[in-house]
Structure 1
Amino acid sequence: MSALVSPLPQSVWRADQMGSYHAAAMSTGHPALDRELPDGGWPGAVLVELLLQQSGIGEIRLLRPALETIARKRRIALLQPPHLPQVAAWTGWGLPADRLLWIRTTRSKDALWSAEQVLRNGSCGALLFWQQQMRAESLRRLHLAAQGTDILFWMIRPLACAQDASPSPLRLALRPAPGGIDIAIAKRRGPRHEAPLFLRLDGMPAAPAFSTPTISPAHAHMDRRAPAAPAARNLPAALV
């Protein structure tokens, strides 16, 4: 076996060693997390899964450093977020409204179609896709679509989905913790990571990233669910 492996050191990944990705990785902005990820950051051109115990535990603050970097040059697509993005909060984070593309559909198949269009269009630098349930073949379609891009693609799903098989090479399970979040590395190209990683997030502004207007879209605090957005068939025009 060693005779077969040795001529291809860059092509064969051993499970007891940290692997690598075909596309360049971007630092998460959290050194402790970077040290635990192949290539030291978020991988591009693949499906990355964030599995949440509950929504709003700090997942957007976790992604904030990478999103800030992307927003300097490219747009960020938010597909099926649980609530309307609060423009003031995102702008305060250095993520101006003209860099955000909010997409809301009424059917799961339209959401899947929209995700594929974002991945293939190439005008966005990141895609965040919230989804409760998804078939394994649909995950494979999205993972394959991502591989033909340079986009950073996060799918945000419930923690219960960790029991399901997934083509994603990186799956992180997130749970709330005092002052931050606990991150369990459910899957990576590297040796098994046993203990959860605590990541402190209390140094970041705690302004809500998502909300829904109760009085006016521009100024009110928000707590209702967002209204439906235009149909998914209008997506390509919005991306041009």
Structure 2
Amino acid sequence: MPADPHPAPEELHPALWRASQLARCAARCIDTGFPALSNQLPGGGWPTGTLVDVLPQQAGLGEMRLLAPALVKVASRSVVLLQPPHCPQILALGGMGLAASQVLWIKSKKGTDALWAAEQVLRSGSCGALLFWPSHVRPEALRRLNLAAQAGETLFFMLRPIAAAQDASPGTAASAAGAQRDGRGIRQAPRSTT
């Protein structure tokens, strides 16, 4: 029988995939703590060493509760909160299982300083997770941060407005978080690649 003249990209090489699909997760993945969500993500959880877009409908409306189970799993190393929209509530973080001594809060005056700090955290590989709420980020900065993330095993979440779902992103997963009756909600957002 003759070979298929148009083989699927993944048959040619495991790193190839169609832009309409989520990339396969070759990285180590951390369970999300929510089986329905973990089953939808490549690799069965949040991938380490890559940018993961989380696009909340409104900043401060459930994203920490969504990410907390995974953050607790990597909290043997520091969890960095970079440019969060609100002052971190240590008691609430403690209720999620994160001790104050495990959390680093970085607030910079300039966006360029925040991008530099994110890159340094990722390249160092010394932190278990980085949650970054940028005010605005250009596509080339996203690519640069994704490359820095690949240097280590850090969970790297970019928490951007839901409107960013329309923007190209090198991120492995794009998700939208929103409040529902139980305080959580998640759906896969449409994804563009760079």
TM-score, normalised relative to structure 2: 0.87
* Residues 1:96 and 1:165: Cα distance change in structure 2 (over 3 Å): same
Check whether the contact 2:82–2:118 (CA below 8 A) recurs between aligned residues.
Answer: yes
Gaps of 5+ in 2: none
* Residues 1:92 and 1:5: Cα distance change in structure 2 (over 3 Å): closer
The match for 1:20 among 24, 27, 32 is 24
The match for 2:103 among 100, 104, 107 is 100
Aligned equivalents of 1:6, 1:164: Cα separation in 2: 25
Note if 1:68 corresponds to 2:72: yes
Q: Which position in structure 2 is the counterpart of 1:88?
A: 91
- Once the two structures are superposed, what CA deviation does each residue of 1:113-158 show, in whole Å capped at 9, x if it has no partner? 0000100112101000011311111111101111111110001011
Aligned equivalents of 1:123, 1:108: Cα separation in 2: 22
- Once the two structures are superposed, what CA deviation does each residue of 1:14-66 show, in whole Å capped at 9, x if it has no partner? 57877522311111010000111111000111101111111222111111110
Q: Which position in structure 2 is the counterpart of 1:116?
A: 119
* Residues 1:57 and 1:151: Cα distance change in structure 2 (over 3 Å): same
Gaps of 5+ in 1: 189-240
Check whether the contact 1:48–1:153 (CA below 8 A) recurs between aligned residues.
Answer: yes
Q: Which has the larger radius of gyration?
A: 1
Note if 1:161 corresponds to 2:175: no
The match for 1:183 among 172, 179, 186 is 186
Amino acid at match of 2:109: T
- SS of 2:185's equivalent in the other structure is strand
Check whether the contact 1:170–1:187 (CA below 8 A) recurs between aligned residues.
Answer: no
Deviates more, 1:10-19 or 1:176-185: 10-19
Within a 5 Å distance, the mapping from 1:120-199 to structure 2 comes to 120-187=123-190
Amino acid at match of 1:122: G
Q: Which position in structure 2 is the counterpart of 1:35?
A: 39
RMSD: 2.3
Aligned equivalents of 1:17, 1:130: Cα separation in 2: 26
Q: Which runs of 4+ in 1 moved over 4 A?
A: 2-7, 14-19
Note if 1:46 corresponds to 2:57: no
TM-score, normalised relative to structure 1: 0.71
Deviation for aligned residue 1:75: 0.7
Aligned equivalents of 2:94, 2:7: Cα separation in 1: 56
- Percent identity, aligned pairs only, is 51
Check whether the contact 1:19–1:39 (CA below 8 A) recurs between aligned residues.
Answer: no
